[in-house]
Structure 1
């Protein structure tokens, strides 16, 4: 799936950012442009509401205005003008026939200004700098520039703030210090690489061990283990996992780390533990292990499960090969929407209309949650469900006829060959409609 990065910028800077972003492949850009600073927060709220977002790049002003809106797990890059951008601003001033100094500069870091002043052999006493401070108003920045112009007889201003430029440009020459395409491109590439690294980390191999606790009778153990196995196999959240019997007491699950993170709400809680106690009447302890191999992951998961068994209530632990231990994870949180005993009236109703089993539709609903709004091709759908590509195409046709997918156009996945059709699953929306209707 392509990386989705949101870019928040003033409308006048769009061309520069487009130039910077054109060298990125496999990255989809979601644009948020504003004319006035009052439009920043609503624009970002709308961006976050649209759906999946891997990262966000924005300047210090937008960041200060929306910091409280940003999810903790979102990769964020705050655009900073570099020494190159300030040097180019000085060159533009010289090209317009102005002396390099005296000058007043806003928003640049003091260290950057000092470095450029030394490199250009300018008089530091003739250069005034007002570093960025989110508490400063536009009026205060404008007043800073006017004071310096009056005191030193300055001829021009270097500003990064569009609102400041608008206030001063009528009677004071202003040279823009806004980052150029090279600076933006470097920071955008760094953000994309950071996101890719996080994705790779989430795809590390992991294992989970679910152990039945305090069951003495052999027959009870067998029934309890089978019950746990059925619960996990038929739970949509585990649709992409490999599940097998571990021994008479428990079950082992193999999956990518990202799947376990979703199931545990980022290693906070594991509702499946409460589900086992409520529906099966047994107490289950769970352990998760993340390592470089299947063997290491299972060994770590067994250690984590043994630790969870010592708790007085259903709980789980995570142990990574780095030595990190997280736990105990509670059994709280929202219960799983669908269990192996009952898929829910909405799922049953939709499955009959689509000519699919309730279990298949539940797995598709879980897959849709993992995609977080991203489109998927029929072949990728088939791989996720463990079916053949022709079966995946037939499934897409059935979903399309029932209004459970929307056509998102096509993409050229490979340099050669025909473009691949993309579809967005809309099962969750249909479920909500069935519940409210």
Structure 2
């Protein structure tokens, strides 16, 4: 039975029907509601939702997000729905339909860029348009005062507002048109959120298998196989992978797809095959399979390894369940930036102190060198190490507890999503502080 997707909607009571209508085009989704009358109710409502139900994603406006953002789990997919240019243009159309002039007009919550863009498209005089972009620290009283001051000064006769409280307070003294997101904007935001949740699920479940085969004759095949097994176990990139004997001449590696992408430099080359040839004196080939299940991954990897075995030199192939095949991947290529033997006692001591394996810390150290001081998000860290996003966030928390990362602000990766926190790795500084590592 498919896993049901649960999306929470945080809405004002007067807007519930609009959001419900927008959600009708989604199937396979359960909607959980947080409905409020006053902004002071938002925080408790969101907390109650998160306590009673697992939620895959949350859609809410700028005001609710500002009131509860610190309650939201780091791994929760969030879309902050904001009124778009279309919503503002429709508000102006409604004003004209009511016999109101296009300007002067006072507008809140929309960004200055959106107001300028729509005003330019409609040929309106920007000097006759007041704009107060959303600010989480502004109260309804502050916004009402802004509108009143402009209307008094300009002789304007109406307001376009996104804030329900502003509409209620000004409605008795002037025309107030709603600039709230329309059904098209809400539907697009909901669809985008559902697709991001599905993409995240697929990414976290997208594992791969690798089959390494000894194809050259060896007087002691068992010893060569044990040597291959030990070499893979001591390869830092495979520190978090599942590795086991396949048969007398092969080894199977099972891990997240991103890990194999790192080892093969995005399916271009596999230097570990050269290392096997030089250290074990045997020819080794590899096959990789990417599919929807472990059994499919291994079956595809076996086919890919059989294809690589037909070539006369060390190499590898990839076969996906979509039918895509990549190869041959050469054994040569960029050599590993680090190996198990380069850990050193200082790094191993630091690993024990932090509670990580030396291989994992070595991989983090190499990643830090490649970043050269650039900050990285937990998701990008997970992708670089070939682990899932939740594992990446847990790793960031562990590193933070031991002073091995420094917060470096945030970045807006998705226009509708919340900002992503960035961190700068500090493994090198910690190693330099360890006696004997200087």
Structure 2-normalised TM-score?
A: 0.53
Residue 206 to residue 87, structure 1, CA distance change in 2 (3 Å): same
In structure 2, the residue matched to 1:128 is 130
Change (3 A) 1:41 1:253: farther
**Equivalent of 1:326 in 378, 385, 389:** 385
Q: CA deviation at 1:326?
A: 3.2
Change in CA separation of 1:41 and 1:92 when aligned onto 2, cut-off 3 Å: same
Offset at 1:200? 1.6
Partner of 1:384: none
What's the secondary structure of 2:54's corresponding residue? coil
Cα distance in 2 for residues equivalent to 1:251 and 1:36: 62
**In 2, Cα distance between equivalents of 1:208 and 1:307:** 20
Deviation string 1:348-390 (CA, Å, 9 cap, x unpaired) is xxxxxxxxxxxxxxxxxxxxxxxxxxxxxxxxxxxxxxxxxxx
Question: What's the CA shift for 1:201?
Answer: 1.2
Give distance in 1, aligned partners of 2:342 and 2:359: 10
1:96 aligns with 2:155: no
Secondary structure of the corresponding residue to residue 25 of structure 2: coil
Contact 1:202 1:257 in 2 (8 A): no
2:254 is aligned to 254
Residue 7 (structure 2) aligns with: 5
Cα 1:257/1:48, change in 2 over 3 Å: farther
Verify: 1:76 aligned to 2:78, yes or no: yes
SS in structure 1 opposite 2:102?
coil
Q: Equivalences for 1:36-435 in 2 at 5 Å?
A: 36-206=38-208, 244-245=244-245, 254=254, 294=301, 307=339, 311=343, 313=348, 314-317=357-360, 325-326=384-385
Whether the 8 Å CA contact 1:316–1:327 is kept in 2: the answer is no
Q: Give deviations 1:231-268, integer Å, cap 9, x for gaps.
A: xxxxxxxxxx99854689x996636679xxxxxxxxxx
RMSD between aligned residues: 4.5
Q: Aligned partners of 2:142 and 2:208: how far apart in 1?
A: 54
Distance 2:182 2:386 in 1: 46
Indicate if the aligned counterparts of 1:105 and 1:129 stay in contact, CA closer than 8 A.
Answer: yes
In structure 2, what is the Cα distance between the partners aligned to 1:243 and 1:18?
49
TM superposition shift of 1:86? 0.9
Shift of 1:96: 2.1
Between the aligned partners of 1:196 and 1:161, the Cα distance in structure 2 is 32
1:28 to partner: Cα distance? 1.6
Distance 2:289 2:58 in 1: 28
Q: 1:99, CA displacement in angstroms?
A: 1.5
The whole-number CA distance in structure 2 between the counterparts of 1:151 and 1:85 is 26
- Counting matched residue pairs gives 277
TM-score by length of 1: 0.53
* Structure 1 residues 52 and 257, CA gap change in structure 2 (3 angstroms): farther
1:327 Cα shift?
A: 9.7
Determine which of 9, 31, 34 is the counterpart of 1:32.
34
Q: Distance in 1 between matches of 2:342 and 2:51?
A: 42
Please list every run of 5 or more consecutive structure 1 residues that lacks an aligned counterpart in the other structure: 210-217, 226-240, 259-288, 334-437
On the 8 A contact 1:203/1:257 being kept in 2, the answer is no
Unaligned segments of structure 2, at least 5 residues = 212-221, 230-240, 259-287, 292-299, 305-316, 319-328, 330-334, 349-356, 368-379, 396-438
